[in-house]
Amino acid sequence: MRVLVVDDSALYRKILSEAVSCVSGTEVVAVSSGPLALKRLDSETFDLVLLDVFMDEMNGPEVLEKIRRSHSQVSVVMVSGATGRDAAITIGCLANGAMDFIPKPASGSFEAGLEVLKSDIRKAITMARIHGLTALAESAKNPTQVAISAPPLNQPPMKRLQPPPFLDLLLIGVSTGGPRALADLIPLLSAKLPVPVLLVQHMPPVFTKSLAEQLNKSSELSVKEAEDGHLPIPGDVLIAPGGFHMEVVRNDSGKLQTRLSSAPPVQSCRPSADVLFQSAAACKLRGAVAVILTGMGCDGADGVASLKNSCPVWCIAQNQATCSVYGMPQAVVLRNLDDEILPLNEIAQRINKIFRV
């Protein structure tokens, strides 16, 4: 794996380069500006670019646009601060083709921040390898499954012939590639959707708020970061805040209500789609639609299984060809939990049809 680090800070170039070098099988090159990065990309082969969001000569979004236009096979991961402005720009980059982002170490223990950064970079390199394998398979016209397999259920539930007639919730789980997928999906959902939408996107704090704000601007639905004790109503799209699990429970009046929790991560994630879906399974729903979109790992599969064992559920999995990483949907498919497999550009239309809007 050849990794190109692009950052105008000499300190961060050094930190990022050293973190990449800790991953076996990698070679790292570091440059100080966007123009220098584009020159290296024109003359050499790289698998992954770690791209700083803010640079003086040419900023990250501008460099990303040129990379996507001229070197579309290269995976790009943004390196961002955790301020509101950084988060908003980073979410825009993810919607415009960046595969993922890595937060810069926050203030506090340098050693602890460096360990988190190394972990994030290992994850980014793994995703880039999967992306490269998928691209290789597609170029050979022999698509292959490259995600981690989920263990099968002892007795997989029978597939439904059609969606349930009575529905109370639309549940969505998504990870890597999610901001771009959600930017294509959420604005196409009908404003007349008769149920609330509860959504888990794997992201740290601050970034989920920016994601909600950007989706709200482009959607007829009300998209917001969830709060503890929120009473979701039709037309709401509630996104689990970074760093917290979001559950849905019945309150004393029997109404659905959100509950936020700082319980330990599940599937290495907080928020976790499994936590949300499993909490919904305990709510005695008349029915639900569960959508599993692009993402690494298998978060969501256990939750869909719990839902299907508790109430009528229709599960839509995004297809491999339109996923940035075919991990989470594949985990659902391998366990025979899907009722439909659809490309991203057909999912919103199908949801609207299921809800008859």
The domain that contains 57 carries what CATH number?
3.40.50.2300
In a domain, 93, yes or no: yes
Instruction: Looking at the structure, tell me whether residues 199 and 335 fall in a common domain.
Output: yes
Residue 143: pLDDT above 50? no
* Residue 198 sits in the same domain as residue 345: yes
Q: How does residue 147 score in pLDDT terms, banded at 50, 70 and 90?
A: very low
Residue type, 123: K
Identify whether 272 is a catalytic site residue: no
Contact call for residues 186 and 350 (beta carbons, < 8 A)? no
If we measure between CA atoms, which residue out of 341, 294, 317 comes closest to residue 174?
294
Number of domains in the chain: 2
- Binned at pLDDT 50, 70 and 90, residue 152 comes out as very low
Half-sphere exposure of 303 (CA within 13 A, CB side): 31
Please state, in angstroms and rounded to a whole number, the distance separating the CA atoms of residues 197 and 45: 42
According to the model, what pLDDT value does residue 110 have?
61
121 with 226, same domain?
A: no
Establish whether 8 is a catalytic residue: no
The span from the CA of 340 to the CA of 130, in Å, is 24
Residue 153 has pLDDT above 80, yes or no: no
Same domain assignment for residues 214 and 338: yes
The dihedral of CA 323, 331, 262, 237: what is its sign?
Answer: positive
pLDDT in tens, 89-137: 999 899 888 988 988 876 555 676 678 888 889 888 888 887 666 555 5
Residue tagged active-site, from 299, 302, 338, 339: 299
Q: Establish if 156 belongs to a structural domain.
A: no
Q: Can you say whether the dihedral through the CA atoms of 10, 11, 17, 18 is positive or negative?
A: positive
The answer to whether residue 155 is domain-embedded is no
Lowest-pLDDT range of 7-21, 59-73, 98-112: 98-112
| Catalytic residue of the set 202, 219, 236, 279 | 202
Question: Active site includes 175?
Answer: yes
pTM: 0.83
Helix (H) or strand (E) holding 169: strand 169-174
Peptide bond between residue 187 and the one before it cis (omega within 30 degrees of 0): no
Catalytically annotated residue among 175, 210, 279, 324: 175
Residues 176, 116: one domain?
no
Q: What CATH number has the domain bearing residue 311?
A: 3.40.50.180
Tokens of 218: 């482009």
